[in-house]
Amino acid sequence: MASNWSGGDYSPCKLITLDRDSSEFRTVQSIFSLSSRGLSINRIDRVENPFLLGQFLMKKDKMNRQNISVSEESLFHGTMKSNVDGICRFNFDWRRNGQSRGHKFGQGVSFTPEVSYAKHYTSGHNIFFLVKVLVGRSTFGNTFTTIPPTSYDTTRNTKNTVFVKYEDDDFYPQYVIHCPPLFSFLL
């Protein structure tokens, strides 16, 4: 993850705009295109936050040491423009669950493998995060799930199109993907 980061200063958080001709841009674009249903990309920014990345990697190591079979999933999270800076600096806050659209599959932070699903949470801004998410044991969640049952770390829906996380550092916001807004004259 960090091997392609820019050098220089040691800012706590930087956004680096990817060159459209780079292999990194094309890789992210290809993941995005699998489920974007025709959305085009204006820009992709790589999030470089060494603190959040370190916390994420330590959490992954902790789960592995506890013999939890953990996978690192690349999932999407749709948001509004006003949330981007806070997420890049401080990560997603699972305590703010449901403030934009509800919490149908659990009261945590929701992620999805489908851009078209995440789009419903952008309020027309069409800004998406591609996020590294640690998924160990998952079970079905619902509106009333405040934490997963003992020995589970994730809840999901029956179609595996929504994954909900409840703990800090189970996710790292790796890229911000900017698409043309739905109603550019309103933004």
Sequence spans of domains, the chain: 12-178
CB count in 10 Å sphere of residue 163: 25
Range 134-145 burial, b when 16+ CB lie within 10 A, else e = bbbebeebeeeb
Beta bridge partners of 154: 138, 165
The string of pLDDT tens digits covering residues 136-147 is 999 999 999 989
The string of pLDDT tens digits covering residues 158-180 is 999 999 999 989 999 999 999 99
Average pLDDT, the chain: 89
Averaged pLDDT for residues 81-86: 93
Architecture of domain 12-178: Alpha-Beta Complex (3.90)
- What are phi and psi for residue 109, nearest 5 degrees? -95, 130
Contact criterion met (CB below 8 Å) for 51 and 12? yes
- Does the structure show a pLDDT above 90 at 70? yes
As given in the structure block, the two tokens for residue 168 are 């800090």
The string of pLDDT tens digits covering residues 97-135 is 545 555 788 889 999 999 999 998 898 899 999 999 999
